[in-house]
């Protein structure tokens, strides 16, 4: 029998904060990466 463990309040807060940081960081660096690609494309032309 498997016992499904519920997340504690501290774990929930940590999960939300970590998720927000991961999404924000990926969006920020994705945006910078797209900018870099556009720059390289312009420089190549």
Partner 1 sequence: MELLPFFEWAETTFLGYIGKTYGGVYATFGQSLHLMALAVLGGSVLVADLRLLNVIMKDVPSEIVTEQAHKWFRIALVMIISTGIFMAAAVAQRMYHNDFFWAKMSALLVGIIFVFAIKRPLLKGSHADLNPIVIKMVASASILVWFSVAATGRWIGFSG
Interface with partner 1 (CB under 8 A): 5, 7, 10-11, 13-15, 17-19, 21-22, 25-26, 28-29
Alpha helical stretches, state H, the chain: 9-44
Burial class (CB in 10 A: 0-12, 13-18, 19+), 33: exposed
Min dist. Cβ of residue 16 to partner 1 (A): 9
Mapping DSSP to helix (H, G, I), strand (E, B) and coil, where does residue 4 land? coil
Which of 23, 45 has the CB closer to partner 1? 23
Min dist. Cβ of residue 38 to partner 1 (A): 16
């Amino acid at each position: 029998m498997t016992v499904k463990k519920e997340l504690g309040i501290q774990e929930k807060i940590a999960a939300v904060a970590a998720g927000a940081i991961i999404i924000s960081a990926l969006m920020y660096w994705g945006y910078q990466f797209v900018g870099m690609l556009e720059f390289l494309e312009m420089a190549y032309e």
